[in-house]
Amino acid sequence: MAKTWFITGTSTGLGRILAERLLERGDRVVATLRQPAALDELRAQHGDRLHVLSLDVTDVEAIRIAVADAFERMGRIDVVVSNAAYGLFGAAEELSDAQLERQIATNLTGSIQLIRAVLPYLREQGGGRIVQVSSEGGQIAYPNFSLYHATKWGIEGFVESVAQEVAPFGIDFVIVEPGPTLTHFRQGLDHAQPMACYDNTPAGEVRRAVSSGTFVLKGDAVKTVDAMIDAADAERPPLRLTLGSTAYASIGKALAERLGSLEAQKDIAFAADRDN
């Protein structure tokens, strides 16, 4: 049975591919992006199965208007995909206040406000699924991506809490955690003004790897999107969907190290309890 999807950030990358794949299989899509003309070709191909809305997710009122428009037009939306995001690249000290604020407004606050906006409609219709596109960077951290990681770790914590709140209403979540994937992510990076003092540090090493193209991107964008669709279609998908061998290895290593560190502190932790 055909489904109806609401997707943010559909101009390029995973969001664009997702819209294309869903339309190809006969689903209906509400696609949002800042420059709607970018989807004119898709709109010509698929007619009224594609509804395009102009949306900048840093505009909270615009999110609410777009969500209301989508549910009114489509009647029911089965899957909401919170995908709009970008990377901010630079050591924490190098970032400007404006860059910091825009990163949080887009990746974190925008995703939070989208989820808050759709919940009343999903409750009213008796349930639905929300797919939050995160990253392996929601579980691990690279130097030079501190603010990006702050937003991804933040949205994962938010979703894990909200998922418990709304499960009784038939609303569930999938957090998608792709590893480095060949998309337009690198071209869309917002770069801080580099400081020479970081040249010979881990931040400088990552900077050179990204600029030279030696930062390995193993992930395939189409395969990643197909896995996202399969999870969204599944009766009981995992809360977290890790995609790509790099993400699997890096997240596994980070979790094992954190668990080992926790276990080593057991006596210290228990000693902090109140005496009975």
- Please identify every residue annotated as catalytic: 134, 148, 152
Q: Are 115 and 130 in contact (CB under 8 A)?
A: yes
Residue partners of 180: CB distance under 8 A and separation at least 6: 136, 215, 216, 217, 218, 219, 244, 246
Kindly tell me the burial class for residue 182, based on how many C-beta atoms sit within 10 Å of its own C-beta (0-12, 13-18, 19 or more): middle
Q: Are 51 and 74 in contact (CB under 8 A)?
A: yes
Q: Are 210 and 186 in contact (CB under 8 A)?
A: yes
The rounded distance, in Å, linking the Cα atoms of 7 and 114 is 10
Q: Are 7 and 32 in contact (CB under 8 A)?
A: yes
